[in-house]
Amino acid sequence: MSQTNEALDQLLAEATQWERRSLTQAQVLAQEALRRCQEEDYASGCVYAQRLLAGIALQEGRMDEAAQRLEEGLALARPLGDPAPISACLYTRGWLLYSQGALWEAIASYSEAATLRAGPGLETPRANTFNAMGIVYRELGDYDQSLACYSQARALFRQVKDVFGEGTTLNNLGLLEADWKSYTNALRYYHETLECALACGDLMLQTSAYYNIALAHILLDEPWHSVPFARHARRTARVLGNPSWRINARLLDGMVYCALRRFPRAERSLLWALQETRTLPDNQLELRVLNELGNLYLRWQRPHEARGHLERCLELAGAMQANLQLVTCHEYLVETMELLQDFERALYHHKEFHRMERQRFDSVTEKQRLMLRMSLDIERREREAARQRERNRELEELTRRDSMTGLYNHRAFQEFLRESLAREKPLALLFLDVDHFKDYNDTFGHPAGDEVLQRLARVLCESLHEGDIAARYGGEEFAVILTGASAKRAHACAAQLGQRIRETPFPHRRVTLSVGVALATKGITPDRLIAAADTALYQAKNAGRDRWARAA
């Protein structure tokens, strides 16, 4: 090989390394490599450059460009007789076909690539191919083949001590465990994946691990544990600059907020993700977003919206033979149709769900089949227990809420304040009191007074940041915990609340607030902080009301 060709190979290797960190930089290097390879008439280099540019185009949603570059690459590679560049193009073509939903065609392309990668020194690319085939077989519901592919991939990666490759396989094994409802085992695999990703410094694998850990906590009915991992996934996806991962991160946000029963926030994230999938022709991603929107609206008791998204998901999954999504869609549609009182359609989806579940179980080995059969009863009981926990949570939430305003009550406020102070992070406490409220009540009646309190509660909810806590402390007195707040933000919030109440129309006459502000200091107890805010409130009242004051 000439020195020129060696230099071009180094440039291509550099572009390949950048592919997992910055698609923009990888594309610049790959285009430069293609230009120089064409000038030097270096056919093998042209093949690798076209394959690399096709992979970048695929990740950015330019499917037609990806297909064209792969055809050009294969046309150049086949006459060379070298299996390495041919298999590289076939592998990427399998990825393209999978993204388009042509699952069996993807298997055929990957199988041809695996055959060409059977020689010595090709352990890593062959293992990558087995991993990719395992993903497609899993989507088809063929767990035997999927597990066999992952096992071969992991053995090959261990043979060559490829930490990144082993991490991707562990991640895939975790997904398989999740399909079998073994979420604790899945979580273990995902944490091992994260260790590998951090060891090799691969951002894409880190993003995938964070995403799946967050998802596993949701499935384990621990959504609060998923929040920091979802935040990490969002951050690393942003650094990657990969459109698919940005959509995945927003999809995950939607799932987390849905599990936390913050439905409006979940809806915004999922609708944004759905809109973005329309600009990125990745049918697999669109399927998942549609499925989660259906789940969201189902839990939100909005069955008409749930039906629309789930039926679109069902149509798309059927065309792609994406059996996993089909099973989930039928399961959600059973509950949706029951809510709509369309029991005939509910029965149809119920039958389809169980028919596909039986097919899924029949595709696994005898040992796995036994485990899955045993899990049927357990799963059914778990669902009942989950529903009971949900009802208990709702009842518990009701005991923490003030029935008139919908804000947290005095008991819940005390709990939140203790927990917030225990974190030893910046915190401000605001006490708010409606000026001359007794006179308002006596003059215009208790129903008018109740309306004042309800409108004030709405203003509080609309004015606060995510993570802040608003509570009715007692009577016409309210409390607000500003988490992570500086003195500047606490003062601005107190002033803003007073201004908004002055501008809010109330029946009969204008209403104003007095506000006391206290900042938490290190080691302060809840009682001392409450006393400080209460003292500041009375300073504001003594100074003429309709103002705020800060504790000394």
Q: Which residues are catalytic?
A: 476
Strand order of the β-sheet with 477-483 is 469-474, 477-483, 427-434, 513-519, 548-550
Q: How far apart are CA 479 and CA 516, in angstroms?
A: 9
The Cα-based distances of 459 to 258, 405, 478, 508 in angstroms read 24, 11, 12, 18
Q: How far apart are CA 263 and CA 32, in angstroms?
A: 48
The Cα-based distances of 484 to 81, 425, 465, 471 in angstroms read 64, 6, 10, 18
HSE-CB for 129 with a 13 A CA cutoff: 27
SS3 category, 483: strand
Q: How far apart are CA 61 and CA 54, in angstroms?
A: 10
- Our CA dihedral for 542, 547, 548, 552, rounded to 10 degrees, sits at -40
- Amino acid at residue number 109: S
CA diameter of the chain: 97
- Judge whether 460 and 470 are in contact, CB under 8 Å: yes
- Amino acid at residue number 351: K
Which of these, 425, 426, 438, 420, lies nearest to 475 by C-alpha position?
A: 438
User: What end-to-end distance do the CA atoms of the chain give, in Å?
Assistant: 79
The Cα-based distances of 256 to 226, 269, 387 in angstroms read 7, 10, 18
What string of DSSP letters covers 316-357? HHHHHT-HHHHHHHHHHHHHHHHHTT-HHHHHHHHHHHHHHH
HSE-CB for 278 with a 13 A CA cutoff: 6
- Judge whether 26 and 54 are in contact, CB under 8 Å: no
452 — alpha (psi -120 to 50), left (phi > 0) or beta? alpha
Q: How far apart are CA 305 and CA 307, in angstroms?
A: 5
